Structure 1
């Protein structure tokens, strides 16, 4: 592909994002659903792509749009390559600019949150693999690795689904990437729609601590706009632009984190080839992005030790991540193959329905029993993440706790330090497919491993952290009884 085609593809993504933002501002339905502009833009690009616009034009005798839709085959080729690249940028910046907390503080707040998050993710593997082994493999002749699609698409999201494209190819199931991206789209929409519905239910039933039925979201907030006093700096200038633009500095740090991750991955692959590749291969299938996150953590350790001038700004890192994630989502959705979804529609719907029911049920019945306090505000974050990635969880937490009065945000953030390196695109997510297809491990042993993880998470959440909730509820009752006597 030519440089002009690459440039045109990037420019078109920018135009689509602006058009999508206008749709969000003008169309009330998208505001009520809190649809991100990247999802709206991805939907527009999908409608104008080869599977819809191209086929519609072919029906009227115009075949020139069959290959690439309105945008052309070259642009679609560029878009299809972007998610696998951009996801490493997103993951590399997860912990940059954020001082790593003391272990005691993080463990106290993150313990119940981590137990609940691990319950959701390991449960998705258990349910998905059981469904695959009992129905999808014998009835639909699909590979057992389809059982991993729920966690890959829901918790991992569009970036992880697209980033595992090479892994699906090496596993002999290239259709898996389209199914995973479709799962990510369904999960994101379900996370937003069901999350809003649950918040309304929680307010009416007085399950929320901060939000009440009188609270209203302004029209500007629904449109995704910041006005008046709510506007603020999106990032800090930590170096003078005359020496180096602050954005360039922070992009360079993310680049170093990605390169560290590449060195780690290359080293692991070399060790594997030298020692045990003839028996089992795992790192040959592992993509770059979870190791880029490890690179970011290692770089942040050095920053904590040597950055005396505090030149790394977490908000600037978030701007780079946010830009990359928007471009990633819209390009992943634009190149989604609807034909693959149509050919596997029933298995796809079974997996999506099973995953959604599990997350909703866990939120309603397990979160109140696992969280020591503020179960709704804390649980809704993991609910959103387990259906539609971290950003969805943060959006839902922002709605129920707009002024950050509960421990939901710090608990969720500390939990991510342990959770993200393994699930939602981490090492477990990356290794799931090679382990499931490996003749030395296989689907059933991997299912057993996840079932053990689920049992351990349930035990810690219900019988260790759950007791804190009971103890906290008993203390006020004892104090009240003493006062009365």
Structure 2
């Protein structure tokens, strides 16, 4: 492997993204269901790759062997940006209730995923128990978490194609969130449940096509440094690089303390240090004034686009044939339990005011990422007149308290202490749902 190989892989993925952006802009069905460009690029990569086009043509898209390492490297960039420049704010009561419900959903997805996998394992002897933790990483955490979690299994030799299975769960979750979410919204609109009389046709054209015309384009960041001394984008990139270096040093130190931490991936340590850095510099304006959160988010977003596209594009079709039944069965069960929690259990936890809008946003968030939830909210509440956006945004940030323990620790523990992971998941489910019901009493009485 050489840097030229990496450059050519980067160029090929970029080409797929360019073509996919054009397809998204031109093809109505892709617009109607808000299919992300990175997902389209990944599917194109499969179709134009050796498993499909390569079977009938000597010319096809072929990547170097090093592209398999992209998931781990790009995850380090993405997770280093997670807390960099983030401002921690006070949380309202409804937002806290949304956090409890989101946590309940997260734990329910874990429990269902592991339980169904254990049952399927009686039929499919080669199905690892850890397979059952990938759905929550894909549905709740999105592609970044799922690919990162699967990479841990791959590097440990626990599973083959773990990152690709994780990417598949992330894709299924996102499609489920958008398509099913739109169906739920349309039915609610017909029944007069939504506060705002919304229509898909009223959505901005830029959201449909993915292309923002001149004169309407927002800034993607603010310049902290003068380009005469240091490029503004470079200034933020160097801070991300600093977090990655500190994450690497943290991981190296932990491994020297105990060999157990060999299974702790670099991205996990980057995430830990990013959180530590955020907490300790929260009240240090001399440091925070050098960080532009908008630019940092764009760096993370760009890395995520390439990670999704590359992971899906390099997915072997053998993954679908090998895991077809478990993928479908587990995904259906996780999607159903998410729906039940968002629209039935929510009556015990969420305030009545803005409940439907919050539930819809949470359904999107828990079947994709925060952006999916906000996209659904944009349909049902175009001007964000309700508190739903604030509720799910706050709960998403607070959600790291239960989410990260799975990404950082329990994915590895699934390989050595599966029973502990399963029992802990039940305990945390009871605590979060119990707290939601208990503190939700005053809202039910109102």
After TM superposition, the score normalised by the length of structure 2 is 0.92
**Are residues 1:408 and 2:385 paired?**
no
Partners of 2:389 and 2:93 lie apart in 1 by 14
Moved >6 Å (runs of 4+): none
Deviation digits for residues 350-393 of structure 1 (CA, Å, limit 9, x no counterpart): 11111111112222212343222312222233322222233322
Identify if the C-alpha distance between structure 1 residues 416 and 143 changes in structure 2 by more than 3 Å, giving closer, same or farther. same
Q: CA deviation at 1:302?
A: 4.7
Asked if the contact 1:112/1:371 (under 8 Å) is kept, the reply is yes
Asked if the contact 2:358/2:392 (under 8 Å) is kept, the reply is yes
Asked if the contact 1:220/1:226 (under 8 Å) is kept, the reply is yes
What is the aligned partner in structure 2 of residue 277 from structure 1?
none
What is the count of residue pairs matched by the alignment?
A: 442
Asked if the contact 2:121/2:128 (under 8 Å) is kept, the reply is yes
What is the aligned partner in structure 2 of residue 138 from structure 1?
122
Partners of 1:13 and 1:171 lie apart in 2 by 27
Identify if the C-alpha distance between structure 1 residues 451 and 34 changes in structure 2 by more than 3 Å, giving closer, same or farther. same
Identify if the C-alpha distance between structure 1 residues 469 and 207 changes in structure 2 by more than 3 Å, giving closer, same or farther. farther
Identify if the C-alpha distance between structure 1 residues 227 and 346 changes in structure 2 by more than 3 Å, giving closer, same or farther. same
Alignment of 1:334-349 (within 5 A): 334-349=313-328
Structure 2's unaligned 5+ residue stretches are none
Partners of 1:10 and 1:238 lie apart in 2 by 28
Partners of 1:400 and 1:106 lie apart in 2 by 23
Partners of 1:250 and 1:345 lie apart in 2 by 42
What is the aligned partner in structure 2 of residue 202 from structure 1?
188
Query: Alignment partner for residue 429 of structure 1, among 403, 407, 411?
Result: 407
After TM superposition, the score normalised by the length of structure 1 is 0.85
What is the aligned partner in structure 2 of residue 305 from structure 1?
283
**Are residues 1:322 and 2:307 paired?**
no
Deviation digits for residues 181-231 of structure 1 (CA, Å, limit 9, x no counterpart): 211111121122112222222322333334535971133431123347643
Which is further off, 195-204 or 339-348?
195-204
What is the aligned partner in structure 2 of residue 357 from structure 1?
336
From the CA coordinates, give the structure whose radius of gyration is larger.
1
Asked if the contact 1:378/1:412 (under 8 Å) is kept, the reply is yes
Asked if the contact 2:163/2:311 (under 8 Å) is kept, the reply is no
Which is further off, 448-457 or 157-166?
157-166
Identify if the C-alpha distance between structure 1 residues 221 and 184 changes in structure 2 by more than 3 Å, giving closer, same or farther. closer
Partners of 2:270 and 2:233 lie apart in 1 by 19
Asked if the contact 1:43/1:334 (under 8 Å) is kept, the reply is yes
Asked if the contact 2:9/2:63 (under 8 Å) is kept, the reply is no
What is the aligned partner in structure 2 of residue 153 from structure 1?
138
What is the aligned partner in structure 1 of residue 163 from structure 2?
177
Identify if the C-alpha distance between structure 1 residues 34 and 307 changes in structure 2 by more than 3 Å, giving closer, same or farther. same
Asked if the contact 1:367/1:376 (under 8 Å) is kept, the reply is no
What is the aligned partner in structure 2 of residue 288 from structure 1?
266
Identify if the C-alpha distance between structure 1 residues 221 and 182 changes in structure 2 by more than 3 Å, giving closer, same or farther. closer
Which is further off, 30-39 or 85-94?
85-94
Asked if the contact 1:206/1:212 (under 8 Å) is kept, the reply is no
What is the aligned partner in structure 2 of residue 11 from structure 1?
11
Asked if the contact 1:45/1:333 (under 8 Å) is kept, the reply is yes
Q: Secondary structure at the match of 2:210?
A: coil
What is the aligned partner in structure 1 of residue 422 from structure 2?
447
Q: CA deviation at 1:165?
A: 4.3
Identify if the C-alpha distance between structure 1 residues 132 and 46 changes in structure 2 by more than 3 Å, giving closer, same or farther. same
Q: CA deviation at 1:107?
A: 5.8
Query: Alignment partner for residue 436 of structure 2, among 461, 464, 476?
Result: 461
**Are residues 1:420 and 2:387 paired?**
no
Partners of 1:272 and 1:417 lie apart in 2 by 31
Partners of 1:214 and 1:388 lie apart in 2 by 20
Query: Alignment partner for residue 127 of structure 1, among 104, 108, 112?
Result: 112
Partners of 1:171 and 1:72 lie apart in 2 by 25
Identify if the C-alpha distance between structure 1 residues 468 and 92 changes in structure 2 by more than 3 Å, giving closer, same or farther. farther
